[in-house]
Amino acid sequence: MSAKTVDDLLAEGVSGRTVFVRSDLNVPLKDGEVTDDGRIRASLPVLEKLTSAGARVIVAAHLGRPKGQFDPQFSLEPVAHRLSQLTDAPVKGIDSQEPLAGEAAKAAVAELADGDIFMLENIRFDPRETSKEDAERSAFAQELAELTGENGAYVNDAFGAVHRKHASVYDLASRLPAYQGDLVATELEVLQRLTEAPSRPYTVVLGGSKVSDKLAVIENLIPKADALVIGGGMVFTFAKAMGYGIGKSLVEEDKLETVKGFVELAQQHGCRLIFPTDIVMAASFAADAEHEVLPVDELENGKHGDQALGLDIGPESAEAFAAEIAASNTIFWNGPMGVFEMEAFASGTKAVAQALTETGGFSVVGGGDSAAAVRTLGFDESRFGHISTGGGASLEYLEGKELPGITALGA
């Protein structure tokens, strides 16, 4: 059974109907302003398809983890403001401390004209959204469904949240006629391409700070990939497991035996594990920290001895990783190679991103920090095969897990 799509909904007709859209608008803020509007822009096509066809659209989304109560730092007001700048459709809302599906929300939705957008406040301000109790989530979902009145519909376009069994992601789909958003459909097509029949050679590039965040995806992808490239902070857990000194670099002591097992697993499946040969070691975790490049087997032999910490892969490694990407027909990248937010330690991440823009293969940037790095470092997003909007959801799919939000749509 395949899920119904937004196009199916449009074919049925949406003029005058109220459509509840779960979007992923979990964007970074600074001083009350959106600093990266990538997810907002990615959500626009479905919203504009619906408003241009005369739907009255309710948008729900989360921002951060406000612990089930109003918290002004997690208000969606700056997001609504940015959305209003990006679309011609009127974007409306109510006072942020009102109950999400209360009388004020009902009254505001009742006043919507065809083609209007009403944005609910942070859906996680209600503790029932993320409750582990089915009855609590179900009750909240029913209240949300009632906002749409007669002949309402539900669209899930929040791929970044489909791995959560939350009221607006999972339970609401059984309260209204449910449809899969274009963003979700595209993400699933890409992930199926990565897991079912990737064009070879297939290279997976993993970075980020912790091995523990990616244990299951490493285990699941080693049998599928031709090469697994390891960068970022997780390098040092592997390095220590191999017997290298790593100074004060980030390490997960309880994962040393696990990563040794990955080395054996890769040998069994003929997957090449590729590690950095050099590392940028710094005196401290600071943008202006004194730093030097050292071979991976001599990380404690520099100016700062065993007090140094690794903050990026070195230039030799960056060149080797780029060459690996250039020789591949399918590449999945998740996680930066270093602390890309600091210019002195961004070179490795830049090299990987640059190689992905130049490859003739199909390149996928796996959301989260990788997608943020692409934008922060000024790359043209159109030069990548696909940039995911859902880092956690992408990884769970690649781990082979069931995604509740997808299951609820009947996909």
Binding residues for (2R)-3-phosphoglycerate: 39, 124, 164
The secondary element (H helix, E strand) that includes residue 387 is strand 386-387
Instruction: Find the largest Cα–Cα distance for the chain.
Output: 71
Instruction: Compute the distance between CA of residue 145 and CA of residue 143 in angstroms, rounded to an integer.
Output: 5
Smallest CA-to-CA distance from 176 within 148, 209, 135 is with: 148
Smallest CA-to-CA distance from 32 within 80, 87, 89 is with: 80
Annotated catalytic residue, options 92, 210, 224, 383: 210
Question: Residues at the annotated binding site?
Answer: 24-26, 39, 62-65, 124, 164, 214, 310, 341, 367-370
Annotated catalytic residue, options 181, 368, 390, 391: 368
Annotated catalytic residue, options 4, 39, 240, 350: 39
Torsion of CA 325, 326, 329, 334, to 10 degrees: 20
Judge whether 368 counts as a catalytic residue: yes
Question: Residues at the annotated binding site for ATP?
Answer: 214, 310, 341, 367-370
Smallest CA-to-CA distance from 217 within 228, 202, 231, 232 is with: 228
Give the number of other CB atoms < 10 A from CB of residue 97.
11
Judge whether 149 counts as a catalytic residue: no
Annotated catalytic residue, options 92, 272, 392, 401: 392
DSSP 355-386: HHHH-SSEEEE-SHHHHHHHHHTT--GGGSSE
The 3-state secondary structure of 131-193 reads: CCCHHHHHHHHHHHHHCCCCCCEEEECCHHHCCCCCCCCCHHHHCCCEEECHHHHHHHHHHHH
Judge whether 39 counts as a catalytic residue: yes
Whether residue 330 contacts residue 199, with contact meaning beta carbons closer than 8 Å, is answered with yes
Question: Residues at the annotated binding site for substrate?
Answer: 24-26, 39, 62-65, 124, 164
Judge whether 401 counts as a catalytic residue: no
Structure-block tokens of residue 23 = 């979007």
Q: Which amino acid is at 227?
A: A
What are the phi and psi torsion angles at 178 (to 5°)?
A: -110, 140
Task: List the Cα angle 300/302/307 in 5-degree steps.
Answer: 55
Active site residues: 39, 210, 368, 392
